[in-house]
Every structure is written in structure tokens, then in C-alpha cells.
Structure 1
């Protein structure tokens, strides 16, 4: 068992910043957000217009002869066609010319501004371990880390890292702990019971994937819900579960139940670009879109982009495989180098914040929790319900018989241990029954298999979500900026909740009282100069008149 995290919350002794305290968070030279929004409005730029990702077409530098590109982007005055799907933005220096070409539009860049004022790019490197930032693995990012803040983030338990990063709250505060929550009264999958014997076809095999897609499609048609993918939950258990974090896109107004970074941007007139799950899961699409829009000076204050190859490749090949160390990391490193080059040459000021949302551990042992529970006299979906994630199995009891039989079996399961309520509370794991009456946690390196997110005929050599981080490692933290407030500094591990307050500081936004983190800039910034005390003016001399 790894070390327990000290409880942090409303009574956390760490300094916290309330509303109106964005001043001094690390950008004392920048104008307030509202003033910058007014500048954009006068220049004809949209404010507060957070948008989801558009699709990427060919990279701008691959345009075939219709325009001229310099090292930093289009040569002013040239006409460079860029393929975009419908919905491409116009902006300063952009003239959008619609031409029928399948589902694409042709965007022409005329007299693009050679420089914009500021951009903050926040890159989530999914499962980006902090020890990936090495000269032999990611030479560019390693060098960049020496110019600014470098450290690591520890992810809270559970599988709702986006809520943690985007709103600065732990799972027991946010109410988001996993993709699914026990909620039979509002499950969108209640109709699955009507499948009867056909439900037996829904099994986690590659060849049976169309059955999962069919349930997703039918559920969406029946309910109109935003997210209806049932993963590989056994059909007999589906009617007990509802979506949690993905009830609507996380960047929409009020989506996370407390002010998010996107809500604050809208409130204070800043525009953002969201290029991450669930809008896109294609790294090349995300990269091409980001590069194109940085070159075009698209009117965004904040870009949020996610690269997933480190998670996908880590699961399939393992975090220390040759494929990861020699191919995937080098590929991401090259992408980050391109992003940095555009920021440093095309913008007056910029921030590049690279975060690993969690680590990845090699899988050494598989444990079949479902088969172990089947050895008891309790019947699934009659006496108990279980949700098997890769490193955490959560149980609910429908009858006293199920409670007695399953609780007697849990301590016998190899490579796992039962979490008591005190440990759940200490680790900031929600203790409400909807998040489980019992929890079984995998020891480091143990994979609960089969689980509800992978097909049985797949290869899984890496996993995350362990309570013990000794093998999984921590996520990377690299912050570089044109602002000298971000000085070279190597810091101790921090909690992932600190990402939110840091983003607020970079954007000059107030930090709401609902969040629980501390900005990285609080520790990295320079102390403000001490003003000389003002001297009181001398007393005026009294003039006595002779008259």
C-alpha cells in the first residue's frame, strides 16, 4: 500500500485564493481579462466564444503551391488554402471563402498578422509519466523544462482527472469519481433488459464490438443523452448505471457543477479552444488543428490540447517498452517542439503548460474478480452488482444474502485488498453508497481482468489508477513562459488539483472559492519589490505679520 494522501479541503492549511485574488498570481504585467476582452472587441475579435475542436485537414505547410509559407507561417499577402470542415472561424487577417468541396470549406489567409499579443497553450499528455522527461527520451521537452517550472503531479484516486484539472476539486468534493455511477433510477440503459437472451451476445470480444455500438446507438436515440457508450458492462448490470462526468461536454456552461476554467473564460471575456476528449481522440487531428490555428493567429486566449498516444501505447506496449521510449515519446516531443516554435516566434507573450494527468505501471499479474465472485452462492444482478475497472472493483448489494456471501469472499481474492471507509475518506474517495458499498483495490502491477473497458482478446501491458504510485509513477509538469515570473525551478510533487489554479494565474482570472488547489506560480513567482516608505512633507512655516 502506498502512502496515504493527507486530506485537503475546506480546512486545508495550505494557502488558498478567493474571488478577486488573481492579481499577483503570476502575471503582474498583463492587463486585466476584461480590459483585454475590450481590446479584442474593438479589433473585431470574438470574446468568450469557447468552441469545440474543428476537424483537421492537411497541414498548412503541405499546401500545394497556392501560397507561400515562411518559417513562422503564411507570408503576408499570399493566399494559402487550408482544408477545414464547415465551421472554420474567421478572425483578424482571415477571410473565409466558402467553396463546395465535399464536407470541407476553403479558407484563404490574407494579410495575416505577423504577431498576436498572447496565447496560453495547455497540453495534456495522457499518462505522461514525469520520468519520461529525459534527454534520451524527450530531448526537446527536457531542455525546455530547464528554462521554467519542472515537477510532477499526483492524480487523485478514480478516473475523473478532467474534472480535477478543469475545476480544481477532489473527487469527494466534485462528485465525479468515475465514468459511471450506480443510479438505477436514471440509467439510460434500462431498456437493455428487454433484449432477453440476445443480451448474451454482448461480450467483450473484438468480433462482437458491433453489439456494443448498437446499444450505444439505440440508447442515444431513445434518451437523447450526450454520452451513451456502455463500455463492456455486462448487459445484466447495465440498467444499474448512469453516466457521471460525461453527461454533457465538459467545456459547456456549468458542466462540472462548479466554476470551471471554461466558465471563467466565458465570464471574463476570454476565448478558448478545446481540442481533447470527447471532441477528438486523434493526435494528428489535434496537432494539425492546433498548428494551423497558431499560425493563423486564431482569436483564442487559451488552447487546450490532449495527446493520447502515451496512454494508448502504454496500455498496449507498456510504459518502458522500446515502442514507447523510442517512438511514441519522440513523436510527441517533436509536436511539442513545433508548438513552442510557433509560440515563441509568432506571439508577443506566451505560456506552454504540459501536464501528465497520471502515470502508467507495467502489468505483472492478472486477477479475475468476476470468476472469484461467481464461486459464491450469490447471483449477479439478483444479489449483487459489481463494476470492474482495471484497478478497482466496486460492489453494491441487493440482498442480505449477497452482502454476506461477497464480503466473505473479497479478502480471499489474490493481489487485492478491501478499502475501509476511513481510508476512502483519507484518500478523498467519495463514501456515498452510489460510489460503492465496498471497494476492492488492486495492488500495484495487478490487473483486474476481464474488466469493463477492454476486450478479452486484447493485449494490456500497462495500467494506471493504482493507489500505490510507486510503480505507476506521477504525471509530468512542465511550465515554460515568455514571462520571467516563471523562473527555472525544480519542485516537489504536487496534486493534480493545482492545475486549475495555475491556469487561472496564467490567464489572469480570479480563483473561485470552490476550488482546492494552489497555483504553481505562487511558489515560482518573484517577490514584489518593496516600495520605499513615503516621507511626510515638512510642516509649513508660520509667517507672523507685523500688522
Structure 2
């Protein structure tokens, strides 16, 4: 071991949506990262997957899943209901929604990812939001401890990216800490692949170009790390994959055609890949359930399956009924967006398009099989 180098650094690189099927047929750091594993994701969007990676827990344990859930008693959004009196052509514009989201986030001092998306303002006082705190700091979880709680308690000198910053800035921040030789563990956050795949789909040559850019950047990270550490252990992981959208379903209009009163008979959120319903009388549940049985390209998830997926929540927090679309079927319009996109995730974790990836230059510990195992890998690599 060199007298001028630190002994070891373990670097975990999180690339959002770098799915196993996205990598299929593509070359990406094959020689550098010969150990390659397919990991099963968890059911839900990144708002569920990332907390599971950071804690090793399933959604019902850490209590992070879809962003919005029915809870009029705790809703912080009651003042926003007045915006429902304004023309939707104004308040539903993307720029207007983003501006209002920033104001709300600052007013309530939310430190996590926060976006109002397209929840109608006239109903927004019926909902609460699950990611109010920064997930990437100690104490950031709704329940349970994340890797940063363990790193802090163990006194491990570490680096973590600012998830709000662009990828280039996160790369430069990591390089600066590597040059000091003082950290022994690093988590690099790279989010742009997810947005690209939503826009162009996994078959696009733009994905190959982005992978080539990642490879060049990580080669430079490895070069700098090797100058300051005797051993450099590199792991590249993801949270889910991406399916190509082939069908659109207007689920919202189908439900509204029943003539039921939103907020009195039922409440619903329409995510991109699922409808989540709360019922305020038994007859409403029966009518909506019967309707959903006739909607092609999706199915209602039984309680037993939700239990197996780790998504059976106390008090039906995130929905009394979950109607999930088949992979490649998109709900349009939804409360997450009003326009169709090319790629989407948030489908059943058993579908191949949902599988995540783990690539490394050393054999990963504990034979990881699911994204929850990335947490145990990080603990083992950091000594936390």
C-alpha cells in the first residue's frame, strides 16, 4: 500500500431508470464492470423505489409510496383550494404549476422533492403529501432509518450528491472530495437518464449516446479515485427500468361518466400507471369496481397481492382499491400529466421492464437480488 494513498474507497453510482432491459443489447462499461446483476424493483414509482434503496425496507415499512394520499384532516393544501376558482387553462399550465409548487415548498419548508403536478386545485384540500423531507440526509424517512443514519452513527466519512443539482455539478463535487482522500464511501446521484427515457423511449439512439457520456464520466471518476486510493470499488445501480408506451387509456373520464360526486361518494388519484380510490359509501365501491372490470389493459390488485408486494398500508393510506395498468399502458390524462409520453415505469415489478440493474468491478456482497439489497451492500461497503 502506498504511503500517499488512502486504503479504499467504495463508490455507489445511482443512475435513475437504468433498467436491466434498457441495457440489454448495449455495451456499457463491460470490461470495467464485469459483475452484472438483475434486481427486482419494488411496486411504485421512484418515490417508492428510492426510499427502499436507502433503507432496505419495503414501502409499507418506510411509508413512502405515491406522493399524494387522501387525508383531509391533515392536508396542508387547504389555502390552495381558492385557486380552483381560476380558469384551468391558466392554473394547469406547467410553468404556473411549477411556480406554485416552489412557493408552497418554501412556505412549508419542505426539504424533499415536491411537485403539485396536476391535482385539481378544487380537490387539493383532500390530499396530503408523503415526501416532505429530504431522503438523502439522516432522519429523512417517514419511518425507519436510511443509510445516512447508519453512516452518521458509525462516524464514516462519506460523500453524497445533492439530488437537486445537475449531473455535471454532482460529478465535480464527487471528484473534489476524492482528491482529498478523506472519504471512504460515496453515493453519486445521476437522474437525467429517467427524463430521457420518458421522452424518447429505451430504443432510441439517444440512450446509447447518454450511456457513452456516463461511461466517459465514470472513467474519469475511476482515474481520479485511483490516484488517491489503493483500492477503488465501483457499483452502478438503478431503481427501475422503463416500458415503451403503446396504449393510452382515459380512466378518469370513464369513472366520471358514472355520475358520482368526487369527494362525497369517492376520492381518487390518477397516477400515470394506476388509479387509486377511496370510497365514502359501499354502493360507490361496487359501482367503480364493476366499471374497472370492464377497462381493458389493467386490473384491480387483490389485497393478498398487495401484501406480497409490501404495499398493504395501515388504514389504506394510499388507496382502498388500486387499479394497475399493464406495462406499456398509460393513463392519459392523469394527475401526473395531461400529455402522452414515450416511456413509463411504475408497473408491476414482475414485468421485465421493471427490473433494475447492479453493475460492479468486484463481486457484490450478500448476493443481491432486489433493489432493497443495495442498502445492505452500502452498509457492507461503508462499514456503517
Partner of residue 361 from structure 1, selected from 234, 243, 248: 243
Q: Distance in 2 between matches of 1:199 and 1:428?
A: 40
Structure-to-structure mapping, 1:155-234, within 5 angstroms: 155-159=41-45, 160-198=48-86, 200-201=88-89, 204=92, 208-220=93-105, 222-227=107-112, 228-234=114-120
TM-score (norm 2): 0.90
1:150-179 deviation per Cα after TM superposition (whole angstroms, max 9, x unaligned): 212111101211211111101122222222
Cα distance 1:323–1:214, how it changes in 2: closer, same or farther (>3 A)?
Answer: closer
In structure 2, what is the equivalent of residue 465 of structure 1? 346
CA contact (8 A) 1:116 1:297 kept: no
Cα distance 1:239–1:299, how it changes in 2: closer, same or farther (>3 A)?
Answer: farther
In structure 2, what is the equivalent of residue 380 of structure 1? 262
Shift of 1:129: 1.7
Shift of 1:243: 2.0
* Aligned-partner SS, 1:494: coil
Structure-to-structure mapping, 1:103-114, within 5 angstroms: none
Q: Please say which of residues 214-223 and 175-184 is displaced more in the overlay.
A: 214-223
* Aligned-partner SS, 1:144: coil
Q: Distance in 2 between matches of 1:431 and 1:496?
A: 20
CA contact (8 A) 2:244 2:328 kept: yes
Q: Determine which structure has more spread, i.e. the larger CA radius of gyration.
A: 1
Q: Distance in 1 between matches of 2:232 and 2:357?
A: 20
Q: Distance in 1 between matches of 2:253 and 2:207?
A: 33
- Which runs of no fewer than 5 residues in structure 1 stay unpaired? 1-112, 510-547
Q: Distance in 1 between matches of 2:41 and 2:89?
A: 36
Partner of residue 358 from structure 2, selected from 465, 468, 477: 477
Structure-to-structure mapping, 1:413-492, within 5 angstroms: 413-432=295-314, 433-456=316-339, 460-467=341-348, 469-481=350-362, 486=363
Q: Are residues 1:331 and 2:200 paired?
A: no
In structure 1, what is the equivalent of residue 20 of structure 2? 130
* Aligned-partner SS, 1:288: helix
Cα distance 1:420–1:287, how it changes in 2: closer, same or farther (>3 A)?
Answer: same
Shift of 1:455: 4.4
Partner of residue 408 from structure 1, selected from 287, 290, 298: 290
Structure-to-structure mapping, 1:463-542, within 5 angstroms: 463-467=344-348, 469-481=350-362, 486=363, 494-509=369-384
CA contact (8 A) 1:135 1:143 kept: no
The alignment of Structure 1 onto Structure 2 pairs a total of residues equal to 378
Cα distance 1:117–1:180, how it changes in 2: closer, same or farther (>3 A)?
Answer: farther
Shift of 1:199: 6.1
Cα distance 1:188–1:478, how it changes in 2: closer, same or farther (>3 A)?
Answer: same
In structure 2, what is the equivalent of residue 290 of structure 1? 174
Shift of 1:249: 1.1
TM-score (norm 1): 0.64
Q: Distance in 1 between matches of 2:257 and 2:30?
A: 51
Q: Distance in 2 between matches of 1:302 and 1:270?
A: 8
Cα distance 1:191–1:499, how it changes in 2: closer, same or farther (>3 A)?
Answer: same
Shift of 1:214: 3.9
Q: Distance in 1 between matches of 2:90 and 2:159?
A: 37
In structure 1, what is the equivalent of residue 192 of structure 2? 309
Shift of 1:464: 1.0
1:113-145 deviation per Cα after TM superposition (whole angstroms, max 9, x unaligned): 96333322111111102245568532xx21122
Higher relative contact order structure (alpha carbons within 8 Å, sequence separation ≥ 6): 2
Structure-to-structure mapping, 1:246-265, within 5 angstroms: 246-256=131-141, 257-265=143-151
User: Could you say which structure has the higher helix fraction?
Assistant: 2
Q: Distance in 2 between matches of 1:492 and 1:451?
A: 39
Shift of 1:405: 2.9
1:272-320 deviation per Cα after TM superposition (whole angstroms, max 9, x unaligned): 222153x32x1222222223332x2263222211222321111110011
Q: Distance in 2 between matches of 1:118 and 1:468?
A: 35
In structure 2, what is the equivalent of residue 121 of structure 1? 11
* Aligned-partner SS, 2:263: coil
* Aligned-partner SS, 1:231: coil
* Aligned-partner SS, 1:117: strand
Cα distance 1:478–1:220, how it changes in 2: closer, same or farther (>3 A)?
Answer: closer
Shift of 1:237: 2.9
* Aligned-partner SS, 2:177: helix
Q: Distance in 1 between matches of 2:202 and 2:125?
A: 36
Shift of 1:379: 2.1
CA contact (8 A) 2:233 2:360 kept: yes
1:102-122 deviation per Cα after TM superposition (whole angstroms, max 9, x unaligned): xxxxxxxxxxx9633332211
Cα distance 1:222–1:254, how it changes in 2: closer, same or farther (>3 A)?
Answer: closer
Cα distance 1:453–1:115, how it changes in 2: closer, same or farther (>3 A)?
Answer: farther
Cα distance 1:345–1:329, how it changes in 2: closer, same or farther (>3 A)?
Answer: same
